[in-house]
Structure 1
Protein backbone atom coordinates (compact mmCIF):
# COMPACT_ATOMS: atom_id res chain seq x y z
CA UNK A 1 0.00 0.00 0.00
CA UNK A 2 1.38 3.39 -0.99
CA UNK A 3 2.03 5.97 1.67
CA UNK A 4 1.73 9.71 1.58
CA UNK A 5 3.30 12.29 3.88
CA UNK A 6 5.04 9.68 6.05
CA UNK A 7 6.40 10.68 9.43
CA UNK A 8 9.78 10.01 11.07
CA UNK A 9 11.93 11.78 8.52
CA UNK A 10 11.50 14.35 5.79
CA UNK A 11 11.42 12.66 2.36
CA UNK A 12 13.30 14.17 -0.53
CA UNK A 13 11.06 16.49 -2.49
CA UNK A 14 10.34 15.47 -6.10
CA UNK A 15 12.11 17.33 -8.88
CA UNK A 16 10.08 20.01 -10.64
CA UNK A 17 9.77 17.87 -13.78
CA UNK A 18 7.83 15.24 -11.80
CA UNK A 19 5.23 17.89 -10.96
CA UNK A 20 4.98 19.26 -14.50
CA UNK A 21 2.02 17.01 -15.34
CA UNK A 22 0.11 18.14 -12.25
CA UNK A 23 0.82 21.81 -13.01
CA UNK A 24 -0.33 21.32 -16.60
CA UNK A 25 -3.49 19.54 -15.43
CA UNK A 26 -4.47 22.45 -13.19
CA UNK A 27 -3.79 25.06 -15.86
CA UNK A 28 -5.68 23.22 -18.60
CA UNK A 29 -8.65 22.48 -16.34
CA UNK A 30 -9.06 26.11 -15.29
CA UNK A 31 -8.54 27.56 -18.79
CA UNK A 32 -10.91 25.11 -20.47
CA UNK A 33 -13.58 25.63 -17.80
CA UNK A 34 -13.40 29.43 -18.14
CA UNK A 35 -13.67 29.14 -21.93
CA UNK A 36 -16.79 26.95 -21.65
CA UNK A 37 -18.33 29.20 -19.01
CA UNK A 38 -17.80 32.39 -21.01
CA UNK A 39 -19.23 30.74 -24.14
CA UNK A 40 -22.30 29.54 -22.24
CA UNK A 41 -22.79 32.93 -20.59
CA UNK A 42 -22.66 34.65 -23.97
CA UNK A 43 -25.58 32.51 -25.14
CA UNK A 44 -27.70 32.54 -21.98
CA UNK A 45 -27.20 36.02 -20.58
CA UNK A 46 -28.05 36.88 -16.99
CA UNK A 47 -31.56 36.08 -15.80
CA UNK A 48 -33.36 34.90 -12.67
CA UNK A 49 -33.71 31.27 -11.76
CA UNK A 50 -32.25 28.18 -13.40
CA UNK A 51 -32.58 29.45 -17.00
CA UNK A 52 -35.00 26.63 -17.74
CA UNK A 53 -32.44 23.91 -17.02
CA UNK A 54 -33.30 20.59 -15.45
CA UNK A 55 -31.09 19.33 -12.63
CA UNK A 56 -28.60 17.19 -14.67
CA UNK A 57 -27.58 19.89 -17.20
CA UNK A 58 -27.50 22.49 -14.43
CA UNK A 59 -25.15 20.34 -12.35
CA UNK A 60 -22.93 19.84 -15.39
CA UNK A 61 -22.80 23.60 -15.88
CA UNK A 62 -22.24 24.14 -12.16
CA UNK A 63 -19.32 21.69 -12.17
CA UNK A 64 -17.69 23.58 -15.04
CA UNK A 65 -18.21 26.84 -13.14
CA UNK A 66 -16.67 25.39 -9.98
CA UNK A 67 -13.65 24.18 -11.93
CA UNK A 68 -13.24 27.67 -13.38
CA UNK A 69 -13.71 29.49 -10.07
CA UNK A 70 -12.13 27.14 -7.53
CA UNK A 71 -9.27 25.33 -9.27
CA UNK A 72 -7.00 28.43 -9.21
CA UNK A 73 -7.26 28.59 -5.41
CA UNK A 74 -7.09 24.83 -4.79
CA UNK A 75 -4.24 24.24 -7.24
CA UNK A 76 -1.49 25.17 -4.73
CA UNK A 77 -3.01 22.74 -2.21
CA UNK A 78 -3.31 19.93 -4.75
CA UNK A 79 0.25 20.50 -5.93
CA UNK A 80 1.55 20.60 -2.36
CA UNK A 81 -0.22 17.29 -1.86
CA UNK A 82 1.42 15.87 -4.98
CA UNK A 83 4.79 17.23 -3.86
CA UNK A 84 4.56 15.32 -0.59
CA UNK A 85 3.84 11.96 -2.23
CA UNK A 86 6.79 9.62 -1.64
CA UNK A 87 5.50 6.40 -3.24
CA UNK A 88 4.82 5.90 -6.11
CA UNK A 89 7.23 8.60 -7.18
CA UNK A 90 6.80 8.93 -10.95
CA UNK A 91 5.44 12.11 -12.47
CA UNK A 92 2.52 10.19 -14.02
CA UNK A 93 1.58 8.70 -10.66
CA UNK A 94 1.67 12.11 -9.03
CA UNK A 95 -0.57 13.51 -11.77
CA UNK A 96 -3.05 10.64 -11.32
CA UNK A 97 -3.16 11.08 -7.55
CA UNK A 98 -3.50 14.86 -7.91
CA UNK A 99 -6.45 14.19 -10.23
CA UNK A 100 -8.04 12.03 -7.52
CA UNK A 101 -7.50 14.77 -4.92
CA UNK A 102 -9.11 17.41 -7.14
CA UNK A 103 -11.91 14.96 -7.99
CA UNK A 104 -12.77 14.51 -4.32
CA UNK A 105 -12.72 18.28 -3.86
CA UNK A 106 -15.08 18.85 -6.80
CA UNK A 107 -17.53 16.18 -5.58
CA UNK A 108 -18.25 18.40 -2.58
CA UNK A 109 -18.87 21.49 -4.69
CA UNK A 110 -20.98 19.57 -7.20
CA UNK A 111 -23.18 18.37 -4.35
CA UNK A 112 -23.57 21.98 -3.24
CA UNK A 113 -24.87 22.63 -6.75
CA UNK A 114 -28.12 20.92 -5.69
CA UNK A 115 -28.54 23.59 -3.00
CA UNK A 116 -27.77 26.30 -5.55
CA UNK A 117 -30.32 24.84 -7.96
CA UNK A 118 -33.01 24.83 -5.28
CA UNK A 119 -32.28 28.45 -4.34
CA UNK A 120 -32.30 29.59 -7.95
CA UNK A 121 -35.54 27.74 -8.72
CA UNK A 122 -37.23 29.24 -5.65
CA UNK A 123 -36.04 32.80 -6.22
CA UNK A 124 -36.76 32.61 -9.94
CA UNK A 125 -40.37 31.67 -9.22
CA UNK A 126 -40.71 34.41 -6.60
CA UNK A 127 -39.38 37.09 -8.92
CA UNK A 128 -41.62 35.91 -11.75
CA UNK A 129 -44.71 36.17 -9.52
CA UNK A 130 -43.62 39.20 -7.48
CA UNK A 131 -41.00 41.33 -9.31
CA UNK A 132 -40.66 43.68 -6.34
CA UNK A 133 -39.43 40.82 -4.17
CA UNK A 134 -36.09 40.79 -5.98
CA UNK A 135 -34.58 43.61 -3.92
CA UNK A 136 -35.50 41.87 -0.66
CA UNK A 137 -34.09 38.56 -1.86
CA UNK A 138 -30.93 40.34 -2.92
CA UNK A 139 -30.66 42.13 0.42
CA UNK A 140 -31.03 38.80 2.23
CA UNK A 141 -28.33 37.19 0.06
CA UNK A 142 -25.83 40.01 0.60
CA UNK A 143 -26.59 40.13 4.33
CA UNK A 144 -26.17 36.37 4.65
CA UNK A 145 -22.87 36.51 2.78
CA UNK A 146 -21.70 39.39 4.97
CA UNK A 147 -22.59 37.64 8.20
CA UNK A 148 -20.92 34.44 7.01
CA UNK A 149 -17.74 36.37 6.18
CA UNK A 150 -17.66 37.77 9.71
CA UNK A 151 -18.76 34.62 11.54
CA UNK A 152 -16.71 32.04 13.47
CA UNK A 153 -17.21 29.22 10.92
CA UNK A 154 -15.51 31.36 8.28
CA UNK A 155 -12.49 31.85 10.55
CA UNK A 156 -12.16 28.13 11.32
CA UNK A 157 -12.48 27.05 7.69
CA UNK A 158 -10.30 29.84 6.34
CA UNK A 159 -7.52 28.88 8.75
CA UNK A 160 -7.64 25.34 7.39
CA UNK A 161 -7.72 26.52 3.77
CA UNK A 162 -4.69 28.73 4.41
CA UNK A 163 -2.78 25.86 6.04
CA UNK A 164 -4.44 22.68 4.73
CA UNK A 165 -1.47 20.38 5.22
CA UNK A 166 -1.71 20.71 9.01
CA UNK A 167 -4.00 17.65 8.98
CA UNK A 168 -2.39 15.44 6.28
CA UNK A 169 -2.66 12.13 8.16
CA UNK A 170 -6.45 12.17 8.57
CA UNK A 171 -6.85 9.56 5.82
CA UNK A 172 -3.47 7.83 6.07
CA UNK A 173 -4.99 4.39 6.64
CA UNK A 174 -6.56 4.19 3.20
CA UNK A 175 -5.18 2.96 -0.08
CA UNK A 176 -3.69 5.73 -2.25
CA UNK A 177 -6.71 6.33 -4.49
CA UNK A 178 -9.16 6.38 -1.59
CA UNK A 179 -6.62 8.37 0.41
CA UNK A 180 -6.43 11.08 -2.26
CA UNK A 181 -10.17 11.19 -2.92
CA UNK A 182 -10.98 11.43 0.79
CA UNK A 183 -8.30 14.02 1.39
CA UNK A 184 -9.66 16.10 -1.50
CA UNK A 185 -13.22 15.81 -0.20
CA UNK A 186 -12.01 16.65 3.32
CA UNK A 187 -10.39 19.82 2.03
CA UNK A 188 -13.47 20.51 -0.10
CA UNK A 189 -15.70 20.46 2.99
CA UNK A 190 -13.55 23.09 4.67
CA UNK A 191 -13.54 25.11 1.45
CA UNK A 192 -17.32 24.88 1.27
CA UNK A 193 -17.57 26.05 4.89
CA UNK A 194 -15.31 28.96 3.99
CA UNK A 195 -16.93 30.05 0.72
CA UNK A 196 -20.61 29.05 0.61
CA UNK A 197 -21.72 32.59 1.44
CA UNK A 198 -19.80 33.94 -1.54
CA UNK A 199 -21.53 31.44 -3.82
CA UNK A 200 -24.93 32.59 -2.54
CA UNK A 201 -24.11 35.99 -4.06
CA UNK A 202 -24.55 34.43 -7.51
CA UNK A 203 -28.31 34.46 -6.83
CA UNK A 204 -28.64 38.27 -6.95
CA UNK A 205 -25.63 38.85 -9.21
CA UNK A 206 -26.64 36.16 -11.71
CA UNK A 207 -25.40 32.60 -11.96
CA UNK A 208 -24.04 33.26 -15.47
CA UNK A 209 -22.61 36.69 -14.68
CA UNK A 210 -18.98 36.07 -15.65
CA UNK A 211 -17.79 39.40 -14.21
CA UNK A 212 -19.30 38.49 -10.84
CA UNK A 213 -17.85 34.97 -11.07
CA UNK A 214 -14.39 36.37 -11.77
CA UNK A 215 -14.68 38.82 -8.84
CA UNK A 216 -15.80 36.05 -6.44
CA UNK A 217 -13.04 33.73 -7.70
CA UNK A 218 -10.45 36.48 -7.18
CA UNK A 219 -11.72 37.15 -3.65
CA UNK A 220 -11.55 33.44 -2.80
CA UNK A 221 -8.03 33.21 -4.22
CA UNK A 222 -6.80 36.22 -2.23
CA UNK A 223 -8.50 35.12 0.99
CA UNK A 224 -6.70 31.81 0.88
CA UNK A 225 -3.30 32.74 -0.51
CA UNK A 226 -2.60 36.41 0.24
CA UNK A 227 -0.96 37.19 3.57
CA UNK A 228 -3.66 39.79 4.25
CA UNK A 229 -6.41 37.34 3.27
CA UNK A 230 -8.18 37.24 6.68
CA UNK A 231 -8.36 41.04 6.82
CA UNK A 232 -9.68 41.11 3.24
CA UNK A 233 -12.32 38.56 4.22
CA UNK A 234 -13.57 40.78 7.06
CA UNK A 235 -13.54 43.88 4.86
CA UNK A 236 -15.58 42.05 2.24
CA UNK A 237 -18.08 41.01 4.91
CA UNK A 238 -18.62 44.62 5.96
CA UNK A 239 -18.96 45.67 2.31
CA UNK A 240 -21.60 42.99 1.71
CA UNK A 241 -23.66 44.26 4.65
CA UNK A 242 -23.55 47.77 3.17
CA UNK A 243 -24.62 46.39 -0.21
CA UNK A 244 -27.49 44.55 1.48
CA UNK A 245 -28.83 47.91 2.66
CA UNK A 246 -28.36 49.44 -0.79
CA UNK A 247 -30.37 46.62 -2.37
CA UNK A 248 -33.42 48.03 -0.57
CA UNK A 249 -32.66 51.73 -0.15
CA UNK A 250 -30.40 52.51 -3.10
CA UNK A 251 -31.50 54.27 -6.29
CA UNK A 252 -32.80 52.14 -9.17
CA UNK A 253 -29.47 52.31 -11.00
CA UNK A 254 -27.66 50.81 -8.00
CA UNK A 255 -30.31 48.14 -7.56
CA UNK A 256 -30.07 47.21 -11.24
CA UNK A 257 -26.30 46.87 -10.86
CA UNK A 258 -26.57 44.73 -7.72
CA UNK A 259 -29.51 42.56 -8.76
CA UNK A 260 -29.17 41.50 -12.41
CA UNK A 261 -29.92 37.91 -11.39
CA UNK A 262 -33.21 38.94 -9.80
CA UNK A 263 -34.57 41.13 -12.57
CA UNK A 264 -37.11 39.44 -14.81
CA UNK A 265 -36.18 39.69 -18.52
CA UNK A 266 -38.47 41.57 -20.86
CA UNK A 267 -39.21 38.36 -22.77
CA UNK A 268 -39.26 34.80 -21.40
CA UNK A 269 -36.02 32.93 -21.93
CA UNK A 270 -36.04 29.69 -23.83
CA UNK A 271 -34.68 26.70 -21.87
CA UNK A 272 -30.94 26.40 -22.34
CA UNK A 273 -28.68 23.39 -22.38
CA UNK A 274 -24.94 23.10 -22.05
CA UNK A 275 -24.53 23.60 -25.77
CA UNK A 276 -25.91 27.12 -25.55
CA UNK A 277 -28.27 26.56 -28.47
CA UNK A 278 -31.76 28.01 -28.00
Structure 2
Protein backbone atom coordinates (compact mmCIF):
# COMPACT_ATOMS: atom_id res chain seq x y z
CA UNK A 1 0.00 0.00 0.00
CA UNK A 2 1.42 3.42 -0.95
CA UNK A 3 1.48 6.44 1.32
CA UNK A 4 -1.38 8.02 -0.68
CA UNK A 5 -3.46 4.89 -0.30
CA UNK A 6 -2.59 4.66 3.36
CA UNK A 7 -3.88 8.19 3.89
CA UNK A 8 -7.37 6.99 2.96
CA UNK A 9 -7.37 4.33 5.70
CA UNK A 10 -9.34 5.73 8.65
CA UNK A 11 -7.62 5.70 12.02
CA UNK A 12 -9.01 3.74 14.92
CA UNK A 13 -12.27 5.28 16.07
CA UNK A 14 -14.59 4.64 18.97
CA UNK A 15 -17.29 3.26 16.73
CA UNK A 16 -15.21 0.32 15.48
CA UNK A 17 -15.59 -2.05 18.42
CA UNK A 18 -16.57 -0.06 21.51
CA UNK A 19 -19.64 1.76 22.82
CA UNK A 20 -18.75 5.43 22.54
CA UNK A 21 -19.48 6.27 26.20
CA UNK A 22 -17.33 3.44 27.60
CA UNK A 23 -14.59 4.25 25.13
CA UNK A 24 -14.47 7.89 26.24
CA UNK A 25 -14.34 6.90 29.92
CA UNK A 26 -11.50 4.43 29.38
CA UNK A 27 -9.61 6.86 27.17
CA UNK A 28 -10.05 9.58 29.80
CA UNK A 29 -8.55 7.32 32.48
CA UNK A 30 -5.44 6.72 30.38
CA UNK A 31 -5.35 10.44 29.72
CA UNK A 32 -5.32 11.10 33.47
CA UNK A 33 -2.43 8.66 33.86
CA UNK A 34 -0.59 10.53 31.11
CA UNK A 35 -1.31 13.83 32.89
CA UNK A 36 0.09 12.46 36.15
CA UNK A 37 3.23 11.31 34.32
CA UNK A 38 3.58 14.79 32.80
CA UNK A 39 3.47 16.29 36.29
CA UNK A 40 6.20 13.90 37.45
CA UNK A 41 8.39 14.72 34.43
CA UNK A 42 7.90 18.48 34.87
CA UNK A 43 8.86 18.20 38.54
CA UNK A 44 11.99 16.23 37.69
CA UNK A 45 12.91 18.63 34.90
CA UNK A 46 12.85 21.47 37.41
CA UNK A 47 15.52 19.71 39.46
CA UNK A 48 17.59 18.26 36.60
CA UNK A 49 17.35 21.14 34.15
CA UNK A 50 17.72 20.99 30.38
CA UNK A 51 21.14 20.25 28.99
CA UNK A 52 23.06 18.14 26.54
CA UNK A 53 23.98 14.51 27.10
CA UNK A 54 22.72 12.46 30.02
CA UNK A 55 23.08 15.44 32.43
CA UNK A 56 24.76 13.13 34.93
CA UNK A 57 21.83 10.72 35.21
CA UNK A 58 22.75 7.11 35.91
CA UNK A 59 21.28 4.51 33.56
CA UNK A 60 18.69 3.06 36.03
CA UNK A 61 17.33 6.51 36.90
CA UNK A 62 17.31 7.57 33.24
CA UNK A 63 15.37 4.46 32.19
CA UNK A 64 12.83 5.00 34.98
CA UNK A 65 12.36 8.61 33.98
CA UNK A 66 12.29 7.65 30.29
CA UNK A 67 9.50 5.14 30.96
CA UNK A 68 7.48 7.85 32.72
CA UNK A 69 8.16 10.21 29.80
CA UNK A 70 6.95 7.65 27.30
CA UNK A 71 3.75 7.08 29.28
CA UNK A 72 3.17 10.83 29.35
CA UNK A 73 3.85 11.32 25.64
CA UNK A 74 2.37 8.14 24.15
CA UNK A 75 -0.62 7.12 26.28
CA UNK A 76 -3.04 9.65 24.73
CA UNK A 77 -2.44 8.21 21.25
CA UNK A 78 -2.22 4.53 22.26
CA UNK A 79 -5.28 4.57 24.54
CA UNK A 80 -7.76 3.68 21.72
CA UNK A 81 -5.74 0.59 20.80
CA UNK A 82 -5.29 -0.60 24.39
CA UNK A 83 -8.94 -0.18 25.32
CA UNK A 84 -10.21 -1.68 22.06
CA UNK A 85 -7.98 -4.73 22.48
CA UNK A 86 -9.04 -5.43 26.06
CA UNK A 87 -12.76 -4.91 25.47
CA UNK A 88 -12.91 -6.79 22.17
CA UNK A 89 -11.23 -9.89 23.62
CA UNK A 90 -12.80 -9.81 27.08
CA UNK A 91 -16.29 -8.41 26.63
CA UNK A 92 -17.68 -10.56 29.45
CA UNK A 93 -14.97 -9.59 31.94
CA UNK A 94 -15.67 -7.35 34.91
CA UNK A 95 -14.47 -3.78 35.01
CA UNK A 96 -11.67 -4.66 37.42
CA UNK A 97 -10.41 -7.43 35.14
CA UNK A 98 -10.47 -5.14 32.11
CA UNK A 99 -8.60 -2.47 34.09
CA UNK A 100 -5.93 -5.01 35.08
CA UNK A 101 -5.60 -6.22 31.49
CA UNK A 102 -5.34 -2.64 30.22
CA UNK A 103 -2.57 -2.01 32.77
CA UNK A 104 -0.76 -5.15 31.57
CA UNK A 105 -1.05 -4.00 27.95
CA UNK A 106 0.27 -0.57 28.93
CA UNK A 107 3.13 -2.20 30.84
CA UNK A 108 4.21 -4.16 27.77
CA UNK A 109 3.92 -1.03 25.65
CA UNK A 110 6.12 1.01 28.00
CA UNK A 111 8.60 -1.88 28.19
CA UNK A 112 9.12 -1.69 24.43
CA UNK A 113 9.89 2.01 24.69
CA UNK A 114 12.14 1.43 27.71
CA UNK A 115 14.28 -0.94 25.64
CA UNK A 116 14.58 1.83 23.05
CA UNK A 117 15.62 4.08 25.94
CA UNK A 118 18.80 2.00 26.31
CA UNK A 119 19.80 3.11 22.82
CA UNK A 120 18.86 6.72 23.54
CA UNK A 121 20.97 6.73 26.69
CA UNK A 122 23.96 5.46 24.73
CA UNK A 123 23.47 8.19 22.12
CA UNK A 124 23.13 10.88 24.79
CA UNK A 125 26.27 9.69 26.57
CA UNK A 126 28.26 9.60 23.33
CA UNK A 127 27.10 12.97 22.03
CA UNK A 128 27.51 14.59 25.45
CA UNK A 129 31.15 13.54 25.65
CA UNK A 130 31.74 14.57 22.05
CA UNK A 131 30.31 18.05 22.52
CA UNK A 132 32.12 18.50 25.85
CA UNK A 133 35.43 18.02 24.04
CA UNK A 134 34.42 19.75 20.81
CA UNK A 135 31.65 22.34 21.43
CA UNK A 136 31.20 23.08 17.73
CA UNK A 137 30.18 19.44 17.19
CA UNK A 138 26.81 20.25 18.78
CA UNK A 139 25.66 21.96 15.61
CA UNK A 140 26.47 18.96 13.45
CA UNK A 141 24.95 16.52 15.90
CA UNK A 142 21.77 18.58 15.83
CA UNK A 143 21.75 18.76 12.04
CA UNK A 144 22.27 15.00 11.80
CA UNK A 145 19.47 14.29 14.26
CA UNK A 146 17.01 16.52 12.40
CA UNK A 147 18.03 15.01 9.05
CA UNK A 148 17.55 11.45 10.32
CA UNK A 149 14.17 12.41 11.79
CA UNK A 150 13.14 14.00 8.51
CA UNK A 151 14.23 11.11 6.32
CA UNK A 152 12.54 8.63 8.65
CA UNK A 153 9.23 10.39 8.00
CA UNK A 154 9.50 9.33 4.34
CA UNK A 155 10.82 5.80 4.92
CA UNK A 156 8.93 2.56 4.11
CA UNK A 157 9.34 1.52 7.76
CA UNK A 158 7.56 4.67 8.90
CA UNK A 159 4.80 4.05 6.38
CA UNK A 160 4.34 0.43 7.47
CA UNK A 161 4.35 1.16 11.20
CA UNK A 162 2.15 4.24 10.89
CA UNK A 163 -0.46 2.25 8.96
CA UNK A 164 -0.44 -0.33 11.75
CA UNK A 165 -0.77 2.32 14.47
CA UNK A 166 -3.60 4.08 12.62
CA UNK A 167 -5.61 0.96 11.76
CA UNK A 168 -4.48 -1.94 14.00
CA UNK A 169 -7.75 -3.89 14.03
CA UNK A 170 -6.52 -6.63 11.70
CA UNK A 171 -3.42 -7.16 13.81
CA UNK A 172 -5.50 -7.13 17.01
CA UNK A 173 -7.54 -10.01 15.67
CA UNK A 174 -4.34 -11.98 15.04
CA UNK A 175 -3.23 -11.24 18.59
CA UNK A 176 -6.28 -13.20 19.78
CA UNK A 177 -4.48 -16.42 18.76
CA UNK A 178 -1.73 -15.77 21.31
CA UNK A 179 -1.61 -18.10 24.31
CA UNK A 180 -3.49 -16.57 27.27
CA UNK A 181 -0.50 -16.47 29.65
CA UNK A 182 0.87 -12.89 29.71
CA UNK A 183 -0.94 -12.28 26.41
CA UNK A 184 -1.83 -8.66 27.19
CA UNK A 185 1.78 -7.90 28.14
CA UNK A 186 3.08 -9.43 24.91
CA UNK A 187 0.45 -7.69 22.79
CA UNK A 188 1.30 -4.35 24.40
CA UNK A 189 4.99 -4.88 23.78
CA UNK A 190 4.40 -5.98 20.18
CA UNK A 191 2.29 -2.90 19.50
CA UNK A 192 4.90 -0.80 21.28
CA UNK A 193 7.57 -2.04 18.90
CA UNK A 194 5.43 -0.86 15.98
CA UNK A 195 5.21 2.53 17.67
CA UNK A 196 8.99 2.60 18.13
CA UNK A 197 9.36 1.88 14.42
CA UNK A 198 6.92 4.68 13.67
CA UNK A 199 8.21 7.33 16.07
CA UNK A 200 11.91 6.74 16.76
CA UNK A 201 12.85 9.64 14.50
CA UNK A 202 10.64 12.00 16.44
CA UNK A 203 12.31 10.92 19.68
CA UNK A 204 15.80 11.40 18.24
CA UNK A 205 15.21 15.16 17.97
CA UNK A 206 15.27 15.25 21.78
CA UNK A 207 19.03 14.55 21.59
CA UNK A 208 19.98 18.02 20.30
CA UNK A 209 17.04 19.80 21.97
CA UNK A 210 17.49 18.20 25.39
CA UNK A 211 15.93 15.01 26.69
CA UNK A 212 14.16 17.00 29.43
CA UNK A 213 13.06 19.87 27.20
CA UNK A 214 9.36 20.20 28.09
CA UNK A 215 8.47 22.30 25.03
CA UNK A 216 10.12 19.79 22.68
CA UNK A 217 8.44 16.85 24.44
CA UNK A 218 5.02 18.52 24.19
CA UNK A 219 5.52 19.29 20.50
CA UNK A 220 6.57 15.70 19.74
CA UNK A 221 3.56 14.40 21.67
CA UNK A 222 1.19 16.53 19.58
CA UNK A 223 2.84 15.37 16.35
CA UNK A 224 2.48 11.70 17.37
CA UNK A 225 -1.15 12.19 18.39
CA UNK A 226 -2.08 13.92 15.13
CA UNK A 227 -0.20 11.42 12.95
CA UNK A 228 -2.00 8.47 14.49
CA UNK A 229 -5.52 9.77 14.99
CA UNK A 230 -6.19 12.51 12.44
CA UNK A 231 -7.77 11.50 9.14
CA UNK A 232 -4.95 13.24 7.25
CA UNK A 233 -2.29 11.98 9.61
CA UNK A 234 -0.09 10.50 6.88
CA UNK A 235 -0.11 13.79 4.99
CA UNK A 236 0.77 15.58 8.22
CA UNK A 237 3.67 13.15 8.72
CA UNK A 238 5.06 14.16 5.32
CA UNK A 239 4.84 17.84 6.22
CA UNK A 240 6.68 17.16 9.48
CA UNK A 241 9.40 15.38 7.51
CA UNK A 242 9.88 18.43 5.29
CA UNK A 243 10.11 20.66 8.37
CA UNK A 244 12.76 18.44 9.95
CA UNK A 245 14.88 18.42 6.79
CA UNK A 246 14.63 22.22 6.70
CA UNK A 247 15.68 22.37 10.36
CA UNK A 248 18.67 20.16 9.52
CA UNK A 249 19.82 22.67 6.90
CA UNK A 250 19.23 25.64 9.19
CA UNK A 251 21.09 23.96 12.06
CA UNK A 252 24.04 23.04 9.84
CA UNK A 253 24.30 26.70 8.87
CA UNK A 254 24.39 27.67 12.55
CA UNK A 255 21.10 29.57 12.37
CA UNK A 256 19.14 27.51 14.90
CA UNK A 257 19.97 28.56 18.48
CA UNK A 258 17.85 25.81 20.07
CA UNK A 259 20.56 23.14 19.79
CA UNK A 260 22.07 22.53 23.21
CA UNK A 261 25.70 22.94 24.11
CA UNK A 262 27.00 21.98 27.58
CA UNK A 263 27.23 24.98 29.89
CA UNK A 264 24.50 27.01 28.15
CA UNK A 265 21.56 25.43 29.98
CA UNK A 266 22.04 25.49 33.76
CA UNK A 267 20.16 23.02 35.88
CA UNK A 268 17.31 23.97 38.13
CA UNK A 269 19.61 23.74 41.15
CA UNK A 270 22.10 26.10 39.51
CA UNK A 271 19.33 28.55 38.71
CA UNK A 272 18.23 28.55 42.36
CA UNK A 273 21.83 29.20 43.48
CA UNK A 274 22.19 32.09 41.03
CA UNK A 275 18.87 33.45 42.30
TM band (smaller chain):
0.7 to 0.9
Shift of 1:76: 1.2
Shift of 1:269: 6.2
**Contact residue 78 and residue 98 of structure 1 kept, 8 A:** yes
Task: List runs of 5+ in structure 1 lacking aligned partners.
Answer: 1-11, 272-278
Q: CA RMSD in A?
A: 2.3
Where do residues 52-71 of structure 1 align in structure 2 (5 Å cutoff)? 52-71=56-75
Cα deviations by residue, 1:150-185 (Å, 9 ceiling, x for unpaired) = 111100000000011111233334444522111111
The question of 1:189 aligning with 2:193 is answered yes
The question of 1:47 aligning with 2:51 is answered yes
Mapped partners of 2:52, 2:153: distance in 1? 25
Q: Cα gap change, 1:99/1:145 in structure 2, threshold over 3 Å: closer, same or farther?
A: same
Where do residues 12-161 of structure 1 align in structure 2 (5 Å cutoff)? 16=21, 20=25, 22-23=26-27, 25-86=29-90, 88-161=92-165
Q: Cα gap change, 1:19/1:132 in structure 2, threshold over 3 Å: closer, same or farther?
A: closer
Mapped partners of 1:169, 1:82: distance in 2? 11
Between 1:98-107 and 1:208-217, the stretch displaced more is 98-107
Q: Cα gap change, 1:27/1:266 in structure 2, threshold over 3 Å: closer, same or farther?
A: closer
Mapped partners of 1:92, 1:163: distance in 2? 27
Q: Cα gap change, 1:233/1:17 in structure 2, threshold over 3 Å: closer, same or farther?
A: closer
Mapped partners of 1:152, 1:69: distance in 2? 24
The corresponding residue for 2:14 is none
Instruction: Give the secondary structure class of the aligned counterpart of 2:55.
Output: coil
How many pairs does the alignment contain?
A: 254
Task: List runs of 5+ in structure 2 lacking aligned partners.
Answer: 1-16, 270-275
Mapped partners of 1:141, 1:183: distance in 2? 30
The corresponding residue for 1:264 is 262
Q: Cα gap change, 1:76/1:15 in structure 2, threshold over 3 Å: closer, same or farther?
A: closer
Q: Cα gap change, 1:267/1:65 in structure 2, threshold over 3 Å: closer, same or farther?
A: closer
**Contact residue 173 and residue 179 of structure 1 kept, 8 A:** no
Mapped partners of 1:229, 1:78: distance in 2? 20
Mapped partners of 1:39, 1:31: distance in 2? 12
Q: Cα gap change, 1:14/1:268 in structure 2, threshold over 3 Å: closer, same or farther?
A: closer
Cα deviations by residue, 1:103-139 (Å, 9 ceiling, x for unpaired) = 1111100110100000000000001000000000001
Instruction: Give the secondary structure class of the aligned counterpart of 1:168.
Output: helix
**Contact residue 143 and residue 249 of structure 2 kept, 8 A:** yes
Mapped partners of 1:267, 1:243: distance in 2? 21
The corresponding residue for 2:233 is 229
Q: Cα gap change, 1:90/1:18 in structure 2, threshold over 3 Å: closer, same or farther?
A: farther
The corresponding residue for 2:9 is none
TM-score (norm 2): 0.86
**Contact residue 50 and residue 266 of structure 2 kept, 8 A:** no
Shift of 1:88: 4.3
Shift of 1:16: 4.5
